[in-house]
A and B are shown apart, each in its own frame.
Chain A
Amino acid sequence: QKEVEQNSGPLSVPEGAIASLNCTYSDRGSQSFFWYRQYSGKSPELIMSIYSNGDKEDGRFTAQLNKASQYVSLLIRDSQPSDSATYLCAVRKRVGTALIFGKGTTLSVSS
């Protein structure tokens, strides 16, 4: 079982729709969770971090964490063509350890 798993996609949504990106992780003791956005040819950009169960909202983005089920999700409301990118889920098991990345989900938002 991979440590951090994401569907590779592509996930295609129309402009204005909600995009839902999912990620599961294998280590139940993992403590910190992150979502990165990566445009083609660019480096990953941190968009959300979440540390406790529940929802965390930042503008059009909502991160959801469910530690009992070992999944973390990212919702993008009112999706825009500029949201078209690869979204990487990352998990930190303990403070001071390196992030473990999923391989990413490609999102395509059509106008």
Chain B
Amino acid sequence: EPEVTQTPSHQVTQMGQEVILRCVPISNHLYFYWYRQILGQKVEFLVSFYNNEISEKSEIFDDQFSVERPDGSNFTLKIRSTKLEDSAMYFCASSVQSNQPQHFGDGTRLSIL
């Protein structure tokens, strides 16, 4: 069964550093998403992406965040200057259409020191 893959599985970074999280969505999916889950809290939407542009973003997704589809397979989330409160599990997801079920990758655990 095709799946969404994410790398790395765990990223440890110093506060203030830039970090890039990588995702390979399912190949025939057109819509891509990033979510985050702070330990012990609910999953929160960050951003959706379609046709090489952001469709929607949440209040969390401020100027420190950006997304990119640099080639035909990868979808990345960049955090420019990380803060302690960015520590969380980051999940990438993809779907065929925006109203269809989303399939999640197994996440990147981001730890900011």
- Our verdict on whether A and B bind, yes or no, reads no
